[in-house]
Amino acid sequence: MRKYPSESYFHQRRFAFSTHRVHIAEHASGRSTTGEVSSLNGKVLILNQSYEPISICSAKKALTLIFLTKAELVEQDSERSIRTVRTHYPFPSVIRLCAYLRVPFRKIELSRKNIMRRDGMRCTYCGSGQPPLTMDHIIPRSRGGTDSWENLTTACIKCNNKKGNRTPDEAGMRLLSVPKRPHHVLFLKHSMGHIDDTWRPYLFMD
């Protein structure tokens, strides 16, 4: 994890981020494009001072928070950087607030819809997204399995039929991931379809 002290990080620049044009250098493709500030809409994970993920914002908002020394850069997008007239700056992918923010989180309701959303609308046994998808009790209810984030998972019809009233072990089936209570950040509207690799350690997905 690399860190950049906020003050030195943006020591040069009020003008750099308040002007309407910045350069986004695309290292991977070796080309460089000039875009409006609106092209800084890449998603950035915001961590609380305690490193707990609390929200997602645009890169533009993240840069503003860093510049105002309200946040510091924790992880950057190595594929991109921000180029001003004088220098390059790392493109943020994870930032951390400098002060602790009390955030009341809404409890995520345990429902069929949310289980499927957590599982990315895919069968947890074979990875198929072929509808119709069903709910599977990993430990069957008849065997004492509960309705819980840990015991409910998404399964395609084929896998559900194959498993029947057995545990995965008995059926010789493997779960592709261990079902658990989802982090609220995964349920934010802005995060859908986008989980950056650099976010994973902070979202406890590994």
Residues that bind Zn ion (CB under 5 A): 123, 125-126, 128, 156, 159
CB of 169 to Zn ion, least distance (A): 17
Min dist. Cβ of residue 173 to Zn ion (A): 9
Peptide bond into 132 cis (omega under 30): yes
Q: Where are the beta strands (DSSP E) in the chain?
A: 21-26, 31-36, 43-47, 53-58, 71-83, 88-97, 133-137, 152-156
Least Å from the CB of residue 155 to Zn ion: 6
Residues 55, 104: Cα–Cα separation, whole Å: 12
The torsion angles phi and psi of 71, rounded to 5 degrees, stand at -145, 160
Question: Which CA distances in Å does 7 have to 66, 92, 94?
Answer: 8, 15, 17
- Please name the helix (run of DSSP H) or strand (run of DSSP E) that holds residue 159, with its range, or none: helix 157-163
By beta-carbon proximity to Zn ion, the closer residue of 69 and 130 is 130
Q: In angstroms, give the least distance from the CB of 130 to Zn ion.
A: 8
CB of 144: closest distance to Zn ion in angstroms?
Answer: 24
Find tokens 């998808």 and name the residue: 133
Q: Is 54 helix (H, G, I), strand (E, B) or coil?
A: strand
Beta-bridge partners for 2: none
